[in-house]
Amino acid sequence: MESPHLTEPILSIQDLNVKIGSSHILKNFDFQISKKEIHALVGESGSGKSTFASTVLGLLNEEASVTWKKFSIFDQNIPSGDFSLWKNWRGKRISLIPQSAAIGLHPFLSIGSQILEYFSLLQPEFANEATCIRLLKEFGLSDPGAAWKARPHQLSGGERQRILILLSVYSGAELILADEPTSALDPTTGKAILELLKTRVKDLGAGLLFISHDLSSARDLADTITVMKSGEKLETLKSQNGSWKPHLEYSRKLFTLDENPA
């Protein structure tokens, strides 16, 4: 099996700096992700994870000052601070799985109509009821026919989140961002959804940037983990047959706390 770290990078960043006023949100930040790689960003609140996600999505606050030494995405080298191409990529080549299904689904429209509209814009070959119901079943909906006709409030949180993940994974995106995608779900449902996400991302060849406070989920899901603190990258770790060997004291403490929760 080919290692994800030997494939061509989807995204490669060197010396990324983001400031708002006099506050340095990201400092000299480096990052890389390849096809079929799941790269998790972990760190305490305020460490810069969400700012980095906004940078990758091209959705930084207008007040932010952003510079980089290198920003290569989809084999294109982007001039420092230039986000003009993102309007062509966002939602197509870059997809976001939000924290809450309430953000991603219209409350008054049926699930079926929303899925059809989405695929008709991005992946027309999936824009038919039979294919969509097959995908709903594949993603663990117990009664996909009923879900197809339902409004979002008639489904459980886990079912709604499975639908959002389905849409993101099958959007054709080469880079998927998952920002705390299971934080609103119970642990059992969340774990099942992450396993599904992991399988589908690998099968379809996308890269997954997984952002979470939950180090346990990151350890189980990721090939690579970058530990952040106060806007800086402390270290990047590679999974060694499912085990992790952090070098720095801060990272070791994080991993020890995860292994031995209070």
Residues 198-254 have pLDDT tens digits of: 998 888 899 999 998 888 889 999 999 999 999 999 999 999 888 899 999 999 988
Residues 15-51 have pLDDT tens digits of: 999 999 999 999 999 999 999 999 999 988 889 999 9
Say which residue, 133 or 202, is predicted with more confidence. Answer: 133
Q: pTM of the predicted model, to two decimals?
A: 0.90
Percent of the chain at pLDDT > 70 equals: 95
Place of tokens 């949180």: 157
Please give the order of strands across the beta sheet that includes 232-238.
Answer: 94-97, 175-179, 207-211, 38-42, 224-229, 232-238
Cβ neighbours of residue 3 under 8 Å, at least 6 residues apart? Answer: none
pLDDT for residue 3 is more than 80: no
Which region among 82-91, 101-110, 169-178 has the lowest average model confidence (pLDDT)?
101-110
Question: Which pLDDT score, from 0 to 100, does residue 192 have?
Answer: 86
Burial class, 10, CB count within 10 angstroms (exposed 0-12 / middle 13-18 / buried 19+): buried
Question: Which pLDDT score, from 0 to 100, does residue 1 have?
Answer: 42
Q: Which fold has domain 4-108+151-259?
A: Rossmann fold (3.40.50)
Which region among 61-70, 106-115, 194-203 has the lowest average model confidence (pLDDT)?
194-203
Q: Are 224 and 37 in contact (CB under 8 A)?
A: yes
pLDDT band for 55, please (50, 70, 90 cuts): very high
